[in-house]
Amino acid sequence: MRFAHPDVLWFLLLCPLLGLLIALGRRRYAALLQHLGEPRLFQHTRSHVPWLHRPWVQVGLLLLPVLSLIMALADPRMYTGTPYIKAGALDTVMALDVSTSMAAEDVNGRSRLAVARDIVRSLLPELRGNRVGFITFAGTSFRQAELTEDLDALDFIVKRWIKEGSAGVAGSNLAQAIEAGLDLFSDDPERTRLMLLFSDGGDVSETLQPALARAASQGVVIVTLGLGSMQPSRIPQYDAQGKFTNYVEVGGTVATTRLNAKPLQRIASATSGTYEHVRQRRTWRHLLTRHAAASDLLTHDEKPIFQTFLLVGLLACATQVLATRL
């Protein structure tokens, strides 16, 4: 819950003074009854509900409308629904590894690339109203989409066009992927910049450090998501009809691949990001709203609840009026 006009709450400091004035008034009233006669006799003759005339009840009935009015004027609002990222606040570039090793089926029985595609598609609805750019990379990088708010088009690209080896060159050049992603960002200082890098690790070249330095200088936070098992996995091959044909071989020997987390951890650490090891796809559905890079951009739908405080105040007033007649 939050208050739209929190400055009004300063008037609550007057309530103790008001309570003191009410207590002094009650004391003078009791002294007047003592002067006129036996107070208990007056109480029994004037009321059928004597507990309503107890001092603490009377003070509460007089203070409660004032408290309720102050709270209502502060305009309290209750958060509803799940948090979401404010529109126009974030630029996100997604970099997806499409090297041959991403075809290994060691993420809950599915290929690394298939899981990465699903995560990307599940994150797009959380970015409505914000701009998203998209690149794929292996040994070289390719721009799939400039920064755009047309997320339906991006979803189509990810669903229909992205497959292993689509970058055309083997390997995973992380430095070039970061450089290509940084080139997509605009110079708008009002927008937070976030890069999501999906990979199973890659080649660590001497050009990685300059790329990380550039990202840090531009204020780009990079969240790396590692896909794959730490154990060696074979890379299956399929024909055009989707039937298994063989495993990838290098020099007549079946090739294996495993997740290389160290370069991904290094990238995240150098850019104030985090490294996430993808184990179950469904756990990354709300990655953006959970991550510190976007937490300052989160907002909620709000429902005003000042009516509740007004109702409490009116009930207190009605009870006070009834107390004088019972």
Q: Are the C-beta atoms of 223 and 291 separated by less than 8 Å? A: yes
Whether pTM exceeds 0.75:
no
CA distance 101 to 117: 15
The string of pLDDT tens digits covering residues 6-33 is 899 898 888 888 878 877 777 776 677 6
CA distance 31 to 28: 5
The position carrying tokens 């985090």 is 274
Identify any residues that bridge with 91 across adjacent strands, giving them in sequence order: 131, 193
- E-only strand ranges, 24-150: 76-85, 90-97, 131-137, 141-148
CA distance 297 to 292: 10
pLDDT tens over the chain, length 326 residues: 888 888 998 988 888 888 788 777 777 766 776 766 665 655 555 555 666 666 667 777 778 888 889 989 999 888 887 777 888 889 999 999 999 889 999 888 889 999 999 999 988 988 999 999 999 998 889 999 999 999 999 999 998 888 765 544 567 899 999 999 999 998 888 888 999 999 998 767 778 999 999 999 999 999 999 999 989 999 898 888 888 889 988 888 998 999 999 999 999 999 988 898 887 655 555 677 666 566 667 776 778 888 998 898 888 888 777 766 65
192-199 β-sheet, strand order = 141-148, 131-137, 90-97, 192-199, 220-227, 275-278
If one counts every other C-beta atom within 10 angstroms of the C-beta of residue 227, the result is: 28
State CA 30 to chain mean position distance. Answer: 58
Q: Two tokens at 127?
A: 């970015």
If one counts every other C-beta atom within 10 angstroms of the C-beta of residue 42, the result is: 15
The string of pLDDT tens digits covering residues 108-144 is 888 999 999 999 998 898 899 999 999 999 888 999 9
Half-sphere exposure of 68 (CA within 13 A, CB side): 18
Q: Is residue 11 classed as helix, strand or coil in its secondary structure?
A: helix
Angle between helices 306-325 and 55-73 (to 10 degrees): 150
CATH 3.40.1030.10 corresponds to the domain 87-296: no
Q: Are the C-beta atoms of 216 and 269 separated by less than 8 Å? A: no
If one counts every other C-beta atom within 10 angstroms of the C-beta of residue 321, the result is: 11
Q: Which residues contact 267 (CB under 8 A, 6 or more apart)?
A: 174, 178, 197, 208, 212, 222, 224, 273, 275
Q: What is the pLDDT of residue 163?
A: 74
Q: Where are the domains of the chain?
A: 2-79+302-325, 87-296
